[in-house]
Structure 1
Amino acid sequence: MKNKDKRTAMWTATICGCLCLLAVGAGVVWQAMDFKETLPQTSQSHAMENQPIEEDLQPVTMAQTPTVDETKLQREKQSNDGGEAPATKQSPTSQATTGAEPVFSYPVQGEIVMPYSVDCAIYDPTLNQYHTSDNVSISAEAGTAVCAAEKGKVKEITEDEERGNSVAIEHDNGWLTTYSQLADDISVQVGEAVAKGQAIGTVGNPTKYTVALGSHVEFAVAKDGETVDPEKAVQE
């Protein structure tokens, strides 16, 4: 009996051990299958979290960037909408016209008997004294034609005891020339346009304030209201 009971106990223990091993193996297999099923979902979810959502992003393309011409048109439109005309460039021709300086010539040919001098006094033989001079006196016979030193427009015609008859001509860029000691036969009028070299009158007899110089023309040049030495202004 004792041997039989001992065998029964051994078989029972063996069967129980096998059953335990089967239970443990089944559990391992079940966990492995469950992990395998959940792993792709977890990885996919993690990948989707790190991947940017493309449908919400709009990449910048060349079509969205304004070109230089489009930007220029936009600025011109804004300028016009604000009541301001778009800036325009001045043509080379207009620049040359507005920037050209007059080229002066002497109104008569002759000797300068009284020079220009505003910085120091010079001797005047008629008045027998020293004084400054804002013009040059050019010797010429009475009746000699006096010509415009450059094209311009007659600003004024005056007469006084010291300078006699005078004609003032305006030129481009603030220049002004004045011709004095003229005869009464002045051939231009105020406001008249004159050409360079055009006769505006003739040399008259000198006034009593300049009689010692003989017949002559007083020629004065000014720029923006400031006197200029005619000998430096004349280029021909």
Structure 2
Amino acid sequence: MRKNHGWAAFWQKKQYIIAGTLVILAAVGMTVLYSRGQEQERKQLEQEIAAEMDTENQNVAMEEETEADQVASILKPQTQSTETAEVEKESEEADSGQEEVAPTGNTSQALHFAAEDGILWPMEGNVILDYSMDSTVYFATLDQYKYNPAVIIAGDVNSKVYAVAKGKIQSIETNEVTGCTVTEDLGDGYLAVYGQLKEPEFAVGDYVEAGHVIGYVTEPTKYYSVEGSNLYFELRKDGVPVDPIEFFE
């Protein structure tokens, strides 16, 4: 009986051990399952957060792009207006500049010379040879008497020579007697001829106003070497020389 009782006690103890072991294993299994479940939930949560962040970033980017487009649409007309205003301003300045130098352009203008209004002196200086078509005058360089269709005005080299009246540059020629010679059409058959020049400021076809610089006095030609540097000035009416002195203001 004692033997049976001992065996029963042993078997009961073994059953306790097995039951305890199973409980432990079950607990471990539950822990593992719980940990795996938490890991899966954590991963799923991270994925959801990442997806939400991507969506939010996309929304922000779209909003920024929309705002940028709106700003660009607002600023573009202003920029265009500014550019247009600048172009118009430059055009106005160019027009203003053209108005100031209009006499140097080739714009067609009606020419009219009022003889009674007279002409300006083309240069400051003493008249060393008078106009004379009725009688001859003495030319020192040539050592002879001859008619003189112009007035010869003494002046230093580089002295400025001015337009005597409003007109149009008809020709710029060079000859051995008067050197570089500029002819200005004053209108109504009148021509002003400027000789012994250099560096003419205008081109053929340009319009000039009275007082504009036509050019500068240069070294005299061999025909006026004794007289020295000077301006040769001739005034013609219908191709015939007239006395400039009678027209000078």
Q: TM-score range by the shorter chain?
A: 0.5 to 0.7
Q: Determine what percentage of the aligned residue pairs are the same residue.
A: 35
Give the AA of the match of 2:136: A
Q: Identify the residue that residue 153 of structure 2 maps to in structure 1.
A: 138
Q: Identify the residue that residue 191 of structure 1 maps to in structure 2.
A: 205
CA distance in 1, matches of 2:112, 2:212: 23
- How far is 1:209 from its partner? 0.5
2:113, 2:190 within 8 Å by CA — same for their partners in 1?
no
- How far is 1:100 from its partner? 3.7
| Helix, strand or coil at the partner of 2:188 | helix
Pick from 207, 231, 234 the counterpart of residue 245 of structure 2.
231
| Helix, strand or coil at the partner of 1:171 | strand
1:123, 1:130 within 8 Å by CA — same for their partners in 2?
yes
* More helix by percentage: 2
- How far is 1:121 from its partner? 1.0
Alignment of 1:175 onto 2:190: yes
- How far is 1:174 from its partner? 1.2
Alignment of 1:155 onto 2:179: no
CA distance in 1, matches of 2:230, 2:112: 34
User: Which string of whole-angstrom CA distances, capped at 9 and with x for unpartnered residues, describes residues 161-206 of structure 1?
Assistant: 11100000001211110000012x1111001000000001100000
Alignment of 1:211 onto 2:214: no
| Helix, strand or coil at the partner of 1:142 | coil
| Helix, strand or coil at the partner of 1:211 | coil
- How far is 1:226 from its partner? 1.5
For residues 52-71 of structure 1, what are the structure 2 equivalents within 5 Å?
none
- Note closer, same or farther for the CA distance 1:98–1:218 as it changes in structure 2 (3 Å cut): closer
User: Which string of whole-angstrom CA distances, capped at 9 and with x for unpartnered residues, describes residues 57-98 of structure 1?
Assistant: xxxxxxxxxxxxxxxxxxxxxxxxxxxxxxxxxxxxxxxx96
- Note the residue ranges of structure 2 that are not aligned, 5 or more in a row: 1-110
- Note closer, same or farther for the CA distance 1:197–1:127 as it changes in structure 2 (3 Å cut): same
- Note closer, same or farther for the CA distance 1:99–1:162 as it changes in structure 2 (3 Å cut): closer
CA distance in 1, matches of 2:208, 2:163: 7
2:179, 2:195 within 8 Å by CA — same for their partners in 1?
yes
> Normalising by the residue count of structure 2, what TM-score does the alignment of the two structures yield?
0.53
- How far is 1:99 from its partner? 8.0
Runs of 4+ in 1 over 6 A off after TM superposition: none
| RMSD of aligned Cα (Å) | 1.5
Q: Identify the residue that residue 127 of structure 1 maps to in structure 2.
A: 142
CA distance in 2, matches of 1:99, 1:163: 25
Q: How many residues align?
A: 138
> Normalising by the residue count of structure 1, what TM-score does the alignment of the two structures yield?
0.56
